[in-house]
Structure 1
Amino acid sequence: MAEVDGVLDRVLDDVAALLAEATDHDTDPARATPGPLVVDLVDELRERVHHPGKRLRPLVAHLGWSAAGGDDATRGRLVEVAAALELLHLFALIQDDVMDRSAARRGRPTLHVVGAERHRERGGLGDPELFGDSVATLVSDLALSEATLLAATGGPRVARTWRLMAAELVEGQLLDVSHTAGRGRDLTTSMRIARAKSSRYTIGRPLQLGALVAGADDDLVARLLSWGDLVGDAFAVRDDVLGVWGDPTLTGKPAGDDLRSGKPTALLVWAAEMLPDSERFLLERCDAGRLDDLDVARLQRAMEEAGVYRRAEALLRDLLEQADEVLADLDPDERTAASLRGLAETVAWRDR
């Protein structure tokens, strides 16, 4: 990860130098005066990069590379792809926070919230919320652009998989937004959203990318993706569990956010099937976006008592069992097998 951090710093330094060079050519620096609301694009991105989360995606890419017999000749490309994954994840988080109106991420105010507050404090013109959203969107745009350029160093097969992964991620986010707004609630679509916007770009595709960097053949890549999809689905299910019952001191996000926003998760699909009639009014309030804090606490409790939590844990155990069967067919070396099993257990039972 120290090597990944080095690549990220190099990329941001390069962007800063390019922008400075362009500015020097276009204007007289002595006459240019930044206004009270000027935002340093690179500094804002660097601030977020230097407060990383679990750094799961680079680690998964490394496991894919190891499973495919990666060597010193391809290690440098692996590090660059891993750094690209960090930037892509940052892009996704910033935009997800804007779309979900999330106030906190990793225990810190989200970028759009910081931007809106700065606008208010300094008496900016126009709508503070729009200003904050605009700052966040533009900073995340740079993250996506630089991530894509960096990933292209891995070669044509890596670039194609990256392109697919990015498209899946954006499509999944869009489906999430439209399904939430349309009050959609069906299991097939919920699982499709979870795989596209969470599972695939967290586990399956990074595993595939690492293997491709190492030069894996198509058969091994396909089998790794089969394992990655099962573990990625476990990651997404656990994400949904934490979105309802997670401890804010560990997750860095308010508890019950998914209920407040009416996210079309599998858990809410099951709740619609399993809640007693006496508690179903809570789902109606959820659909209407009218849950207050007391309603959220009551719906959390009602879902647990109805067996939704137990059903999620049963699904997690089933996904891990299936993944273990696929892993046995992969037949990796003992060290890689232990690491992959450890990853599966970690993502399925994590508390943050």
Structure 2
Amino acid sequence: MGLDVLPDDLPGWLGGLLLGRGKRLRVTMAHWGYVAAGGAPGAAGYRRMIRAAAALETLHLFALVHDDVMDASTTRRGRPSAHVEASGWHRAAGADGDPDAFGVNLAILLGDLAHTVADRLVDGLPPALRDAWYALCVELIAGQRADLTGAAAGRRDARHAEGVARLKSGRYSIVRPLQLGAVAAGAPPELVAGLLASGDRIGRAFALRDDLLGVWGDPTTTGKPAGDDLLEGKPTELLALARDRLAGPDAALLDRVGTSSFAREDVPRLADAMRRAGVEAEVERMIAAAVRDAEAGLAALPLTPRGTAGIMDAARAAAWREA
């Protein structure tokens, strides 16, 4: 099997990264979507929701592994990224070839396996669940594409940043998991539509918190370096706000973001300038408003009180998390 370079084959590596790791936010949202729509524990719909939730968590690992390769991120969840870990195994084994290329190639395969396993978990579910799954996968890829091309084009407009956040983060992490849970419970289309509208608001809060943590998060808590989004010129709403608020030397520094003339040591300078300009405070207000709007939207729907409370507890935890 050629495992003389690897401590374990891809399935074992995948299992080690899946078990006992992560916040399980997507699983939580699928569960509360099911409960909110009146789903009963132990029913056939419950078992379908569990399969969909397991697929969500496995797909999330695919997204993380491939995202780290694309962004050349060295850490994830407080440990080396998959491609960095595989490069280390190559070096430790004294193997032939380029260890960094080997690490990237193995990480791509690991992500491919995670996506394949996720699709297998969804295979055989009712058509409405498979349709939601397909939409989720396409939105995730479209969001990542827009993230990459937006950074390459130096996009700083709020419209593009909002679209990236909605597709790559909000829809995939909040909206579609809620939909999968509600559909598994047998919710009618109009109820699902209302739930998704509130989910979009929760997703917005989640994505905005991601942006804040990407600039001002504590690496010892988030498990990844702070400032990478600035270094890479990611098209976030923070940079859209900064474009409108910074002037003089700070605006000139912002103009260099995403170029070879913007270095790691420039990141804290720009982050401080953005904070002084009120970017962080404005995003905090936007997060609070999105959560309030989501709560009002859910209150207008015929959902179970327990399910509504569960969704909002998860929404607040996601909106004001530290990692």
TM-score by length of 1: 0.87
2:165 aligned residue: 194
Q: What aligned pairs does 1:120-131 form with structure 2 within 5 A after superposition?
A: 120-131=91-102
2:176 & 2:54 partners in 1: Cα distance? 14
Contact 2:151 2:235 survives alignment (8 Å): yes
Measured on the aligned residues, the alpha-carbon RMSD in Å equals 1.6
| CA 1:277–1:300: 2 relative to 1, 3 Å | same
Amino acid corresponding to residue 126 of structure 1 in structure 2: G
1:289 & 1:348 partners in 2: Cα distance? 33
2:209 aligned residue: 238
2:296 & 2:208 partners in 1: Cα distance? 20
1:351 aligned residue: 322
Decide which of 294, 313, 324 is 2:295's aligned counterpart.
324
The question of 1:65 aligning with 2:30 is answered: no
Amino acid corresponding to residue 275 of structure 1 in structure 2: L
2:289 & 2:84 partners in 1: Cα distance? 39
SS in 1 for 2:5: coil
| CA 1:152–1:33: 2 relative to 1, 3 Å | closer
1:138 aligned residue: 109
Decide which of 242, 247, 272 is 1:276's aligned counterpart.
247
Q: What aligned pairs does 1:77-116 form with structure 2 within 5 A after superposition?
A: 77-116=48-87
Q: What aligned pairs does 1:1-352 form with structure 2 within 5 A after superposition?
A: 34-36=3-5, 40-71=9-40, 72-73=42-43, 74-352=45-323
Offset at 1:231?
0.2
Amino acid corresponding to residue 131 of structure 2 in structure 1: R
| CA 1:214–1:289: 2 relative to 1, 3 Å | farther
1:39 & 1:260 partners in 2: Cα distance? 34
Larger Rg: 1
| CA 1:251–1:38: 2 relative to 1, 3 Å | closer
| CA 1:351–1:259: 2 relative to 1, 3 Å | same
Q: Which runs of 5+ in 2 are unaligned?
A: none
SS in 2 for 1:286: coil
Q: Provide Cα deviations, 1:142-175, integer angstroms capped at 9, x if missing partner.
A: 1111111212343110001101100110111111
Offset at 1:85?
0.6
2:166 & 2:289 partners in 1: Cα distance? 17
Offset at 1:49?
0.7
Offset at 1:102?
0.7
Offset at 1:68?
1.1
Q: Provide Cα deviations, 1:41-99, integer angstroms capped at 9, x if missing partner.
A: 11111111124210000110001100111112122222111111110101111111111
| CA 1:40–1:247: 2 relative to 1, 3 Å | same
Contact 1:152 1:158 survives alignment (8 Å): no
2:143 & 2:182 partners in 1: Cα distance? 24
Offset at 1:33?
6.2
Q: Provide Cα deviations, 1:9-68, integer angstroms capped at 9, x if missing partner.
A: xxxxxxxxxxxxxxxxxxxxxxx6644358611111111112421000011000110011
2:14 & 2:296 partners in 1: Cα distance? 41
Amino acid corresponding to residue 60 of structure 2 in structure 1: H
Contact 1:61 1:207 survives alignment (8 Å): yes
- How many percent identity over aligned positions? 45
1:170 & 1:277 partners in 2: Cα distance? 37
Contact 2:28 2:314 survives alignment (8 Å): no
2:242 & 2:27 partners in 1: Cα distance? 35
52-61 or 273-282: which moved more? 273-282
Contact 1:243 1:255 survives alignment (8 Å): yes
TM-score by length of 2: 0.95
Offset at 1:276?
2.4
1:155 & 1:262 partners in 2: Cα distance? 41
Offset at 1:290?
3.8
